[in-house]
Amino acid sequence: MKRAHTSIAFLLLAVLAMSQAFAGAGNRAGTNGASELLIPVGTRDIAMGGSTLSTASGVEALFWNPAGTVLMKNSADLYISHMSYIADIGVSYGAVSANVEGFGVLSLGLKYLAVDPILVTTTRDPEGTGQTFQPQFFTVGLSYARQLSERIAVGITGNLISERLGDVSATGLAFDVGVLYDNLASIRGLSIAVVAKNIGPQMKYEGTGLLTPATVADQNRPATLYQIQAASFELPSAIHFGVGYKYQLSDEMTVLGSTAFQSSNFSDDEYKFGLELSFQELLYLRSGYSFAQREDDAREFLFGPSLGFGVHTALGNTEISIDYAFRSLETFDGNHVFSVKMGF
């Protein structure tokens, strides 16, 4: 027990030290790459404003805090969701978690962005050549989590990132590391979490799309293809801190509140709040709100309040949860998210 507490203390100190590198990074907003890593998944968590670092559990915790997967109630969970995102982009997500006795929880997740075909344009045909290409963005994550003690859990996720735009593509690797401390100070229902997300090396585009014809002045030779060297780009790394508290109002009703703070190296600091009411663990009502501490008054925070609900039931030995969430946006149409989770 003492060893576990000491290890977590050192890990928390390391994460806190890393967070200093992210503070006040709003002046770099919009300059990162691999922005698909920032698109949230998890209907319950989106409905609660993304505040659930310390309260997400099971397969739904993969995106928010991989350590939370150890709290799964079943031997295996299967999760499927779809979100209508910005500008007609669809975000499909699927994940599975398995609790291996004596080893820990293994999880696998896949996120795919569906983007409509885009018209091919060139310097000679700025209105389009008549051809189209379809961008492809997907992320595959493999996660491992383990309970170190009755109160402490840790988890790590390795994400393989793949992006393709016509004849150019980029591949990268990002890691999420999370710590969850439940029943803090012996207070039942009180939990805290620290998560470092999207930590990894820079990415760079390559491919035949970067070849361009050119001639050398004063040389008697035909035009030759030259390779353009694309600039590298950084991942949207961030540190997240979360606190949650679950309270039993009565035999039939439970209330859960959560809050989170996000410090990113490419955006303003964000504050998130969420609330969930549970009725007999059959019906769930949720709401959330998030806002950013803007360093530039000219930059507007995109997302507004969110809400949602969920229904949980059991069919034989299979538990089924169906959830819906809505997240409002300032400029675009709101996000609609639907999901189905099955536990075995």
pLDDT at 30: 64
Which pTM does this prediction carry?
0.87
Q: Which band of pLDDT confidence, cut at 50, 70 and 90, is reported for residue 222?
A: confident
Q: Average pLDDT in the 148-174 region?
A: 93
CB atoms inside a 10 Å sphere around CB 98: 19
Task: Give the number of C-alpha atoms closer than 13 A to the C-alpha of residue 93, restricted to the C-beta side.
Answer: 28
Instruction: Find residue 318's DSSP bridge partners.
Output: 315
Is 295's pLDDT higher than 70? no
Indicate the Cα dihedral angle 197, 321, 310, 140, nearest 10°: 20
Give the tens place of pLDDT for each residue, 46-95: 999 999 999 999 999 999 999 999 999 999 999 999 999 988 899 999 99
Q: Looking at this protein, which amino acid is placed at residue 212?
A: T
Q: Which residue has the higher pLDDT, 1 or 182?
A: 182
Residue 176's nearest CA partner among 138, 137, 141 is 141
pLDDT at 25: 53
Report yes or no: 272 and 241 within 8 Å, Cβ to Cβ.
Answer: no
Q: Average pLDDT in the 212-240 region?
A: 82
Give the list of residues 6+ apart from residue 219 with CB closer than 8 angstroms, or none: none
In order of 14, 56, 153, 182, the CA distances from 150 in angstroms are 23, 17, 8, 8
CA 161 – CA 109 distance, rounded (Å): 12
pLDDT at 100: 94
pLDDT at 141: 97
Q: Average pLDDT in the 265-273 region?
A: 87
Q: Which band of pLDDT confidence, cut at 50, 70 and 90, is reported for residue 127?
A: confident
CB atoms inside a 10 Å sphere around CB 229: 10
Give the tens place of pLDDT for each residue, 251-262: 899 999 999 999
Q: Average pLDDT in the 120-140 region?
A: 86
Task: Give the number of C-alpha atoms closer than 13 A to the C-alpha of residue 20, restricted to the C-beta side.
Answer: 5
Q: Which band of pLDDT confidence, cut at 50, 70 and 90, is reported for residue 13?
A: very low
Q: Which residues of 284-297 are buried (b: 16+ CB within 10 A; e: fewer)?
A: bebbbbbbbeeeee
Strands (E), the chain: 76-84, 90-100, 104-114, 118-119, 132-133, 136-147, 152-165, 168-182, 190-199, 211-214, 224-227, 238-248, 253-264, 269-279, 283-293, 303-315, 318-329, 335-343
Least confident of 134-148, 236-250, 295-309: 295-309
Q: φ, ψ for residue 20 (rounded to 5)?
A: -65, -30
Q: Which band of pLDDT confidence, cut at 50, 70 and 90, is reported for residue 311?
A: very high
CB atoms inside a 10 Å sphere around CB 109: 22
Domains of the chain: 2-343 (2.40.160.40)
Residue 116's nearest CA partner among 137, 130, 134 is 134
pLDDT at 24: 46
Residue 96's nearest CA partner among 70, 62, 68 is 62
Give the list of residues 6+ apart from residue 241 with CB closer than 8 angstroms, or none: 53, 192, 193, 194, 260, 261
Give the tens place of pLDDT for each residue, 20-39: 444 445 556 667 788 899 99
pLDDT at 27: 57
In order of 128, 176, 232, the CA distances from 209 in angstroms are 16, 32, 16
Indicate the Cα dihedral angle 34, 296, 260, 175, nearest 10°: 20
Which stretch, 122-131, 183-192, 240-249, has highest mean pLDDT? 240-249
Is 129's pLDDT higher than 80? yes
In order of 32, 96, 162, 336, the CA distances from 175 in angstroms are 16, 18, 14, 28
pLDDT at 20: 45
CA 24 – CA 267 distance, rounded (Å): 8
The token pair that represents 215 in the structure block: 């001639």
Q: Which residue has the higher pLDDT, 163 or 17?
A: 163
